[in-house]
């Protein structure tokens, strides 16, 4: 009996190791280096600024943050041009605003350091360079955006609004009356997956040869599959910003949604209003039911691409991202969700 138990245990272990080895997205990135990577904290630099000398300190900010700083001031916090005569007044107004000061104090408590964020992003960048050697890694800047931006790419910089990730029940979100479908994902664990998706959309812009629904969802399916590759150990719900219930809806209704697309002849529509019904942000997918998951078209596209890569193991990730023919991906995926 002891020998039998040992053999059974050994077989189970070998099966486990075999299954781990068969996961193509778990790759060894230990030899990939990210020299000089650091996170710059505009939130700290701005709110600890000596405002008695705005001109000199602005020059320091511009030297440190480059083209990101004027974009931050003009587009992100919507305060006009840094060359405007009212620049100093508007900057002080932002820094000393009571709500912004309280927000900054809260950010300091939640994010006293960015060490954990740096470690997670280093993993993402290592995976990116593993698949795309020579790809430029963006500078990372944390900020307080005035509750205007989660993640924003600007040139070669990725800005992260830390006040948008203070925890879903923080009082600021309640004061702003932000909808629950947004605040439920405004947590620390969502920063890196959100940043990864935005980085990938910026680094791999839309390249499909058509603008129909199939092409739109297949493109986002490629982005989501690449997110899988960048974050192989992160749960799907976090990667796509779904609750457990929303994810369960997708799994249970995959066949029904796909059948609906076919019955309504939606896959090849180029009507953007129709496409938006299945891809727009919201509490649910407007064309279906209030119980549905939002952006369900993107989830379907994700499953198509996953099936395509599974059915065609010789296709590399760079080849996937270069593919522009959504119909080809669908055909070779042999995508047929079961009832």
Per-residue pLDDT of 299-312, as tens digits, reads: 999 999 999 999 99
Q: Are residues 97 and 56 in the same domain?
A: yes
Give residue 75's pLDDT band: very low, low, confident or very high (50, 70, 90): very high
Q: What is the mean pLDDT of residues 118-131?
A: 97
pLDDT score at 198: 97
Task: Tell which phi-psi region holds residue 261, choosing left (phi > 0), alpha (psi between -120 and 50) or beta.
Answer: alpha
- Considering only residues 201 and 10, tell me which one the structure prediction assigns the higher pLDDT: 201
- Helices 213-230 & 296-311, crossing angle to 10 degrees? 70
Q: Are residues 83 and 224 in the same domain?
A: no
Least confident of 121-125, 185-189, 260-264: 260-264
Q: Are residues 101 and 160 in the same domain?
A: yes
**Do 299 and 278 contact (CB within 8 A), yes or no?**
no
pTM for this entry = 0.91
Query: What values do phi and psi take at 39, rounded to 5?
Result: -115, 125
Q: Are residues 276 and 173 in the same domain?
A: no
Per-residue pLDDT of 126-146, as tens digits, reads: 999 999 999 999 999 999 999
325 assigned to some structural domain: yes
Structural domain of residue 315, as residue ranges? Answer: 213-333
Q: Are residues 183 and 244 in the same domain?
A: no
- Considering only residues 147 and 7, tell me which one the structure prediction assigns the higher pLDDT: 147
Q: What is the mean pLDDT of residues 315-337?
A: 97
pLDDT score at 68: 97
Q: Are residues 255 and 282 in the same domain?
A: yes
Q: Are residues 58 and 191 in the same domain?
A: yes
Q: What is the mean pLDDT of residues 318-333?
A: 98
User: Which pair of structure tokens corresponds to residue 47?
Assistant: 């709110």
Taken in order 137, 143, 145, 148, is the CA torsion positive or negative?
positive
pLDDT score at 87: 96
225 assigned to some structural domain: yes
**Among the listed residues 50, 61, 63, 51, the one whose alpha carbon sits nearest the alpha carbon of residue 88:** 51
CA 261 vs CA 4, 252, 288, 294, 329: distances in Å: 52, 16, 11, 16, 17
Number of domains in the chain: 2
Q: Are residues 156 and 305 in the same domain?
A: no
Determine how many CB atoms are found less than 10 A away from the CB of residue 52: 7
14 assigned to some structural domain: no
Q: Round the average pLDDT of the chain to a whole number and report it.
A: 93
Q: Are residues 217 and 253 in the same domain?
A: yes
**Among the listed residues 195, 203, 67, 39, the one whose alpha carbon sits nearest the alpha carbon of residue 135:** 203
* Residue after which a domain boundary falls, among 180, 203, 226: 203
Residues sharing a CB contact under 8 Å with residue 185, sequence separation 6 or more, in sequence order? 168, 194, 241
pLDDT score at 339: 80
Per-residue pLDDT of 205-238, as tens digits, reads: 999 999 999 999 999 999 999 999 999 999 999 9
């Amino acid at each position: 009996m002891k020998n039998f138990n040992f053999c059974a245990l050994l077989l189970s272990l070998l099966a486990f190791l075999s299954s781990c080895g068969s996961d193509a997205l778990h790759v060894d990135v230990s030899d990939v280096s990210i020299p000089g990577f650091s996170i710059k904290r505009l939130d700290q630099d701005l709110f600890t600024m000596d405002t008695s000398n705005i001109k000199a300190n602005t020059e320091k900010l511009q030297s440190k943050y480059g083209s990101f700083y004027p974009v931050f001031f003009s587009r992100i916090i919507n305060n006009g041009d840094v060359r405007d005569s009212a620049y100093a007044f508007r900057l002080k107004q932002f820094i000393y605003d009571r709500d912004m000061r309280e927000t900054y104090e809260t950010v300091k408590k939640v994010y006293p350091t960015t060490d954990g964020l740096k470690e997670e992003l280093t993993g993402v960048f290592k995976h990116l360079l593993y698949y795309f050697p020579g790809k430029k890694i963006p500078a990372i800047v944390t900020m307080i955006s005035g509750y205007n931006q989660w993640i924003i790419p600007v040139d070669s910089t990725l800005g992260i609004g830390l006040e948008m990730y203070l925890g879903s029940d923080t009082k600021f979100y309640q004061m702003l009356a932000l909808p629950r479908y947004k605040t439920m994902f405004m947590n620390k664990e969502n920063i890196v997956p959100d940043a990864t998706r935005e980085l990938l959309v910026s680094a791999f812009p839309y390249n499909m040869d058509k603008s129909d629904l199939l092409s739109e969802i297949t493109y986002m399916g490629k982005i989501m599959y690449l997110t899988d590759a960048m974050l192989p150990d992160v749960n799907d719900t976090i990667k796509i910003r779904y609750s457990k219930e929303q994810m369960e809806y997708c799994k249970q209704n995959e066949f029904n949604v796909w059948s609906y697309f076919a019955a309504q002849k939606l896959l090849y529509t180029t009507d953007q209003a129709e496409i938006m019904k299945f891809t727009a942000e919201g509490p649910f997918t407007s064309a279906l039911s209030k119980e549905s998951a939002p952006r369900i078209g993107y989830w379907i596209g994700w499953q198509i691409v996953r099936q395509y890569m599974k059915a065609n193991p010789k296709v590399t990730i760079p080849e996937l991202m270069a593919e522009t023919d959504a119909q080809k991906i669908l055909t070779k995926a042999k995508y047929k969700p079961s009832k």
